[in-house]
Amino acid sequence: MKNIGWCLNKIRKTFSNMPREPNSEENKRKALEIINKTKEYIDTLADIVNSDNFELRIKKLKEASQESIRLRAHEVEKLFKDLRYMLLMSDLSLEELKGIVNLDHYGKEEANLWNGAYDKIVYAIHMEFCEEMGDLRKEFKVNIHTKEELEEIVKSKKHLAEILK
């Protein structure tokens, strides 16, 4: 899950540089750059979260002889369902942000839409996957994939190299 934590941190760090409003050409340019970079990290996270390998691991955990391991499997499975929901919601919100950036007019209504889409991504990551102090939950500090598995799962060679550091 360390790889997932790496992706979540990259998404948070990249997205934290988002202009509060795309109300100038410079802010629009910067917003599109951040949207695209965030989308790349979201796609890498989706590669990891949606891999068949994960489903096999959950199945093995559910079939374990120790009850504590079986219970942990359900916790991890719920966490992955939450991650999948966050990925879907983030994709939709990024598309909404991109649409607003590409508008010719930016007024009060667009500002409200911008803030709503922006907040959905920030809150989804923070509320679901972070501790009270803003650090990622401890589950994201453990590796669940081998180097070889990641080489098969992660499509972005750049992100793979960073994850494997």
Give the tens place of pLDDT for each residue, 58-111.
Answer: 777 778 777 776 667 777 778 888 889 999 999 999 999 999 999 888 889 999
CB 62 within 8 A of CB 70: yes
Domain count, the chain: 1
Q: 124 vs 77, 80, 82, CA distance in Å?
A: 18, 14, 9
CB 11 within 8 A of CB 38: yes
pTM of the prediction?
0.81
Both structure tokens of 106: 């930016």
Give the tens place of pLDDT for each residue, 26-70.
Answer: 999 999 999 999 999 999 999 988 887 777 777 777 787 777 766
- Give the span between the Cα atoms of 133 and 18, in whole angstroms: 21
**What's the domain range around 139?**
2-163
Average pLDDT over residues 106-135: 81
